[in-house]
């Protein structure tokens, strides 16, 4: 996921290069990116007056644990990438270029190599689902016995309502029956 962009930096503003990506992504357990699949997609590099704008749509998958049944699962991930990279060295003179004002800006190294890994890592983290689900109709675990309800049904009965909280249930019923809720007035 490294690209030498020296020739593109020598081009006029508006010049482009396009690349297809199909590469393994290194997992990063410290931020929850475990067993990420291959990164596949298409990117476009656009020469700007300050550097190179990278745009693309990328696809991958990530391994996680289903939040309903706790089974391991794989979830597809898709995201649009759009980041501007700034050179650290002038491509014509070899002299250092002033650093961008934003200290978190992505840069092109001294050898004019643009590395997409950090941007992909950041976008992947944002694109991951908040909760992994093995399938949309996952029934989860029985709250009484812990049986995986996708595999079998259990004979547990619905829990009875705590008598101390039964009064709250009656209040909800009264609120639903009130004329204001029915639109009568």
Residue 121: inside a domain: yes
- The boundaries of the domain holding residue 73 are 2-127
| CB burial of residue 100 (10 Å; 0-12, 13-18, 19+) | middle
pLDDT for res 34: 62
Tell me whether residue 11 is in a domain: yes
Residue 9 belongs to some domain of the structure: yes
Is this structure's pTM higher than 0.85? no
Whether 88 is covered by a domain: the verdict is yes
pLDDT at 182: 54
Band (pLDDT 50/70/90 cuts) for residue 185 is very low
Q: How many domains does the chain have?
A: 1
Greatest Cα pair distance in the chain: 81
Q: What is the pLDDT of residues 54-92, one digit of tens each?
A: 999 999 998 889 999 999 999 899 999 999 999 999 999
Residue 91 lies in a domain: yes
Residue 173 has pLDDT above 90, yes or no: no
Place of tokens 């649009």: 80
| Inside any domain, residue 61 | yes
Closest by CA to 39, choosing from 94, 76, 84, 85, is 76
Specify the DSSP class assigned to residue 28: B
Q: Is 41 left (phi over 0), alpha (psi -120 to 50) or beta?
A: left
In a domain, 152, yes or no: no
**Closest C-alpha to 55, from 19, 21, 80:** 80
pLDDT tens by residue, 81-120: 999 999 999 999 999 999 888 989 999 999 999 999 999 9
Report the distance separating Cα 166 and Cα 55, nearest Å: 57
Residue 167 lies in a domain: no
């Amino acid at each position: 996921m490294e690209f030498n962009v020296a020739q593109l930096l020598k081009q006029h503003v508006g010049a482009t290069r396009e690349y297809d990506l199909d590469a393994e992504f290194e997992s990063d357990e410290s931020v929850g990116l475990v067993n990420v699949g291959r990164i596949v997609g298409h990117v476009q590099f656009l020469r700007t007056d300050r550097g190179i704008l990278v745009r693309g749509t990328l696809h991958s998958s990530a391994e996680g644990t289903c939040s309903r049944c706790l089974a391991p699962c794989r979830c597809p991930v898709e995201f649009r990438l759009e980041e501007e990279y700034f050179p650290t060295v002038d491509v014509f003179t070899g002299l250092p270029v002033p650093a961008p004002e934003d200290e978190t800006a992505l840069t092109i190294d001294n050898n004019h190599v643009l590395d997409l890994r950090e941007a992909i890592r950041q976008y992947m983290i944002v694109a991951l689902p908040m909760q992994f689900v093995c399938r949309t109709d996952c029934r989860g675990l029985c709250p009484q016995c812990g049986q995986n309800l996708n595999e079998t049904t259990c004979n547990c009965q619905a829990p009875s309502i705590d008598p101390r909280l039964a009064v709250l249930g009656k209040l909800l019923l009264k609120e639903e029956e009130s004329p204001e809720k029915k639109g009568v007035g």
